[in-house]
Structure 1
Amino acid sequence: MKITAIPQLYRNLKRWKEILRVLRRYGLADWLTQFRLPFRDVLKDRGGVPLSQYSREQRVRMALVDLGPTFIKVGQILAARPDLVGPKLAEELKRLRADVHPDSIEQVRNTLAQELGENFESRFQSIDATPLATASIGQVHRAVLHDGTNVVIKVQRANIERTMLQDIEVLAGLAQLAERVDGFAAWGPTDMVRQMGPMISRELDFTRERQNLEQFGEMFDRNRNDVVIPRPHKPLCTRRVLVMDELVGQPLSQFLSDEAERCDTDNDAIIASRNELKHRLCETIASVYLTMIFEEAIFHADPHMGNLIVMENGQLGILDFGMIGRIDENLRETIEDMLVAISSGDQNRLTRLICQIGNAPPMLNESRLAIDVAEFIGTYGKQSFGEFDLTGALNELSDMLHRHAIKLPNQSALLLKMLISLEGTLRELGASFDSLDVVRQFTRATIVKRLSPRRRLRQARRVYLEAENFLESAPNEVITLLKMARQGSFRITLEHQRLGPTVNRMVLGLMASAVFLGSSLLLAMKVPPILFHDVTVMGVQDLSLMGLIGVVGSISVMMWLLLAITRSGHLTRGDDD
């Protein structure tokens, strides 16, 4: 850890102690679980259940809950990154919900007074004291505006911004420590924290969510009337307060629960009507999200059933626009090419596209990746559209990326998570609806767009501008390089990844060898102090104590070094290298 980080460490010392205590507790439980020890059940959860009875993934989730809102939010972000943490842990982290007590209505009113002014109550007829929903960052209350409009108020929790920014600093320190561990360093924990910091900061700023609501509201008001986005009331929105229209209806999860309860008592006509509504909802949900991906290049990143509202008139309402994803043209075209490669069974092209869309490690085993891709295509490439298991395919793709340490960009990972969540929601609806057939229709439409003369002209213009810029700048760059070479200031910097541990082992081996040779000379020259001077033990006499200590110590270091190299799997060059 850098010296400049010491003030930060001292400032957050109390929080460091809390975090290390929780990590030590769950880490010790994980270690004890690996052994059949009589006291391995001594550590228990809040309900008195031994931690050893939980899986490792469950213990990770429980530790994040104990660590508080920031770590819960980090876990929710990592749930969208199965390429980093693996599908099993990502699936477990999806269960993370903030188990926090809501702020009192006095604290909520105090926040409203700070953000909207002391006379904020003149703008509302009433504010419900009981929160409608509570999360790690904010909580939602029903309210009625002065003109009688029913709204909901999303209010940031008191002191949550200071707590989260403090935890981000602590996470940055933990990431620096993790960089020293080979198993963690490969995933770039410092870069991960650097990316998570802005994401959490954006969620703390409700102004961004208000802008997202306006953008998506304009998008669907312009194109269709079967989708409703809450309308924000801009004069009442600030960085910590968001006021928007209330959507009257049932969350999709509650709608399906009520359907299950009433299914046995209703007649055939009502059941047929409900099945038709479910089918229409399936079509609307799939069409809306695919429109976001293939036409608008911006998507709502969390389409779980709690964020989808079945309105009284059958319309679909969408909530929670705190996290959205954006797709550039290259990513969208790569997705289309991947779908074509899977359906056509083109193994080589799909392998290239996976390496293109992700950040492949320098030592990627391309032959093994090609084998995994071939198995993937063999499993999913031959399925008909009606039988295609999109969730299984996406999960297996995530597992493949995780095994080969291929990291996706944030927007690609968000898109992957959204598609998995979307497919799960459509499956829960249970209607006989082929979502992948809609994907195929959208893909065909986008391929037609890619071949359109207008797009070709736009591409040609972009290529011309890039070529013009290159031709203008290239001569100056070449002249600069020639000047540097003539002046002797031309330098080439080579960086070897993970060279530090290799050099350290080499230096330690040379030092151990030098100590062994020097100690052997001490033994040969019988340098005092001397052991067994007057007696002979097993044929040994006049043994130099310093030489003996040096030989034993150097041999111990050499054995430890040999064991470490063996454990790393790099003692000999095997087939995997």
Structure 2
Amino acid sequence: MGQLYRAFRIAWIVIRYRLDTLIPLDRLPFYLVLALRLNPMRLFPMGEHSRGERLRLALEELGPIFVKFGQMLSTRRDLLPFDVADELKKLQDQVPPFPAAQAKSTIEKALRMPVEEAFAEFGSEALASASVAQVHTAQLHTGEQVVVKVIRPGIEKVILNDVQLMYMLARLVLRLVPDARRLHPVEVVSDYEISLMDELDLQKEAASTSQLKRNFLNSPLLYVPAIHWSFTRKNLMVQERIYGVPVAEVDTLKQHKVNMKKLAERGVEIFFTQVFRDNFFHADMHPGNIFVDTTHPENPRYIAIDCGIVGSLSVEDQNYLARNLLAFFKQDYYEVARLHIESGWVGEGTRANEFAAAIRAVCEPIFEKPLKDISFGQVLLGLFQTARRFNMEVQPQLVLLQKTLLNIEGLGRQLYPDLDLWTTAKPFLENWMKQRVGPRGIWMKAKEKLPDWLEQIPELPQLAHEGLTQFRNWQQGHHEQSVVLREIRNELGRNRRRQGQLVLGVLLLLLALFSGVGEQLMPVLQGEWQPWVLGLTGLLVLLRR
């Protein structure tokens, strides 16, 4: 019942804000254009809000899942009109806040003490408000400036209802569109549900933040604020307050004379470092979560907050991804096709040369161009359309990574449109592959395993003795099995002979009983004594058994 109500509510919000007017009619077939022009929604007035405001207000009213979708769209100014992108940008940290009284009540229940006892100062007005939580400024009694992040009351129920609705839509798509199986919509929703549930647990976010801070400790690329664990609970997190320029405020960054080219390149380097060096990446890198430390404009450093969604890959996926990207950069499309086939990402029986030719047609035009002339989103769309011909399946474990890469591209496009994404990433990947599979990589793996090997050396004699004992036992068992099998074969042979003797003996006794038949079969034994001979012979045969 709740899902049905939610579906009707979504439909009502779409109608009330006239979101049908945002659909580009020039890209639709005639019958869909006609249906949109005749749809009953046109009876509702659009009001005084612009199209961007209507979309933003609708997403805010629809809830956190839709707000996050709008946040991701806001980074893709190449895919949206500027006025719509500007409005969606407000979703990053300008979602309407919930009352400060509710925030204080949540804090006091979590810490089991009054707000005044926990903090020397507490800002009642929200510093920032997002879809799942909002942030207040505070000062500890030790004098440290902190921010207090509080989960929105009742948000978990809203998210669970939306996720159940997404499951329902995913299953409906599978029934109506059999070809959608390769997209694994249910698995994708399942992965998204896990990431959303993790985002509701601020203790998990705090742990991820601490891990990311360790990974980039003393790094010139990225700074991660510290967590105050004594004040952190499942629905509450207290973190060091940071001071920086939001990455989306490009004009402010330029006023501080920040080296925009280096800033953009470092964003790409941070992404690939997280994915390949650490195998632990911030998967919610929209502009609202990224700031810039402008203390040294020629060497700007990023500041990352809100690690509620993080991702990692298996070793196999890491290797395949790195080799695929390197093959793309080298324009070796046959290698890309071979890797896709080898990893099982495309259908069985796919011909590498045909798949390579299709990939080449999509990717060749994008190389040797600055980022301002390339849309990675359009490239991905083209690749998905091409892969559809070859039954390529969506890999759910890569969805977060693809989303993060799109966010990084959106950031790079805003900061330095002439950035060459491929040239920036290629040396990093080549160096990573050398470290992974080259002599240095083998040596580092050996050094990593050496303590385990040294620990096992004292046990080698015992292991060798146990191995020899097991081998002897196996030999003895094998010999005993051979003897038993030989006896079984001999017994089967004896049984066959006994059965033959039984049949012969019974037959001779029958001939003796019916002497007339015996005379016809064996005329040489005619006479009165013939039955006795046959009977005696039959008895002897039976006795020999």
Q: How does 1:69-108 map to 2 (within 5 A)?
A: 69-73=64-68, 95=88, 97=91, 100-108=95-103
Secondary structure of the residue aligned to 2:126 is coil
**Structure 1 residues 312-337: Cα deviation after superposition (integer angstroms, max 9, x where no partner):** 52343122211222133222322332
Deviation at 1:373, TM superposition (A): 0.7
Please name the residue that 1:442 is paired with.
428
- What is the distance in 2 between the residues matched to 1:209 and 1:404? 36
**Structure 1 residues 456-484: Cα deviation after superposition (integer angstroms, max 9, x where no partner):** 5859x9xxxxxxxxxx9xxxxxxxxxxxx
Secondary structure of the residue aligned to 1:139 is strand
Cα distance change of structure 1 residues 118 and 402 upon mapping to structure 2, 3 Å threshold = farther
- What is the distance in 2 between the residues matched to 1:34 and 1:364? 39
- Confirm whether residue 296 of structure 1 aligns to residue 283 of structure 2: no
Deviation at 1:144, TM superposition (A): 0.8
Cα distance change of structure 1 residues 13 and 455 upon mapping to structure 2, 3 Å threshold = same
- Confirm whether residue 287 of structure 1 aligns to residue 269 of structure 2: yes
> Which is greater in Rg?
2
Cα distance change of structure 1 residues 431 and 362 upon mapping to structure 2, 3 Å threshold = closer
Cα distance change of structure 1 residues 344 and 311 upon mapping to structure 2, 3 Å threshold = closer
Please name the residue that 2:406 is paired with.
420
Deviation at 1:432, TM superposition (A): 7.0
For 1:227, the aligned partner's letter is L
> How much identity, in percent, do the aligned residues show?
24
Please name the residue that 2:213 is paired with.
217
Match of 1:330 among 271, 294, 316: 316
- What is the distance in 1 between the residues matched to 2:66 and 2:386? 25
Secondary structure of the residue aligned to 1:109 is helix
Secondary structure of the residue aligned to 1:243 is strand
Q: Say if 1:278 and 1:431, in contact at 8 Å, map to a contact too.
A: no
Q: Say if 1:391 and 1:423, in contact at 8 Å, map to a contact too.
A: no
TM-score with structure 1 setting the length: 0.62
Match of 2:10 among 15, 19, 41: 19
Deviation at 1:435, TM superposition (A): 5.0
Q: Say if 2:221 and 2:270, in contact at 8 Å, map to a contact too.
A: no
Q: Say if 1:401 and 1:407, in contact at 8 Å, map to a contact too.
A: no
Q: Say if 1:293 and 1:299, in contact at 8 Å, map to a contact too.
A: yes
TM-score with structure 2 setting the length: 0.66
- What is the distance in 2 between the residues matched to 1:435 and 1:64? 31
For 2:277, the aligned partner's letter is E
**Structure 1 residues 136-169: Cα deviation after superposition (integer angstroms, max 9, x where no partner):** 1101111111111111111101111122223323
Match of 2:116 among 117, 121, 126: 121
Secondary structure of the residue aligned to 1:253 is coil
- Confirm whether residue 401 of structure 1 aligns to residue 384 of structure 2: yes
Q: How does 1:459-498 map to 2 (within 5 A)?
A: none
Secondary structure of the residue aligned to 1:274 is coil
Deviation at 1:249, TM superposition (A): 2.0
Deviation at 1:371, TM superposition (A): 3.6
- What is the distance in 1 between the residues matched to 2:276 and 2:168? 40
For 1:41, the aligned partner's letter is R
Please name the residue that 1:246 is paired with.
241
Higher helix share: 2
Between 414-423 and 128-137, report the one with greater CA deviation: 414-423
Cα distance change of structure 1 residues 75 and 404 upon mapping to structure 2, 3 Å threshold = farther
Unpaired segments of 5 or more residues in structure 1? 1-9, 263-272, 462-471, 473-577
- What is the distance in 2 between the residues matched to 1:337 and 1:38? 49
- Confirm whether residue 258 of structure 1 aligns to residue 269 of structure 2: no
Secondary structure of the residue aligned to 2:375 is helix
Q: Say if 1:229 and 1:317, in contact at 8 Å, map to a contact too.
A: yes
For 1:209, the aligned partner's letter is E
Secondary structure of the residue aligned to 1:349 is helix
Secondary structure of the residue aligned to 1:101 is coil
Cα distance change of structure 1 residues 440 and 390 upon mapping to structure 2, 3 Å threshold = farther
- What is the distance in 1 between the residues matched to 2:399 and 2:426? 21
Match of 2:289 among 296, 302, 307: 307
- What is the distance in 2 between the residues matched to 1:278 and 1:200? 33
Match of 2:172 among 177, 191, 194: 177
- What is the distance in 2 between the residues matched to 1:454 and 1:312? 36
**Structure 1 residues 318-362: Cα deviation after superposition (integer angstroms, max 9, x where no partner):** 222112221332223223322332344322221233455684467
- What is the distance in 2 between the residues matched to 1:282 and 1:79? 18
Secondary structure of the residue aligned to 1:41 is helix
Please name the residue that 1:201 is paired with.
197
- What is the distance in 1 between the residues matched to 2:270 and 2:129? 27
**Structure 1 residues 174-226: Cα deviation after superposition (integer angstroms, max 9, x where no partner):** 433333322784444433333322121111111111011100111111x5255
User: Alignment RMSD, CA only?
Assistant: 4.2
Secondary structure of the residue aligned to 1:309 is strand
Q: Say if 2:362 and 2:382, in contact at 8 Å, map to a contact too.
A: no
Deviation at 1:88, TM superposition (A): 5.7
Secondary structure of the residue aligned to 1:316 is strand
- What is the distance in 2 between the residues matched to 1:48 and 1:79? 18
Cα distance change of structure 1 residues 452 and 407 upon mapping to structure 2, 3 Å threshold = same
Please name the residue that 1:514 is paired with.
none
Q: Say if 2:166 and 2:189, in contact at 8 Å, map to a contact too.
A: yes
For 1:103, the aligned partner's letter is F
Secondary structure of the residue aligned to 1:422 is helix
Secondary structure of the residue aligned to 2:295 is coil
Paired residues, what number? 425
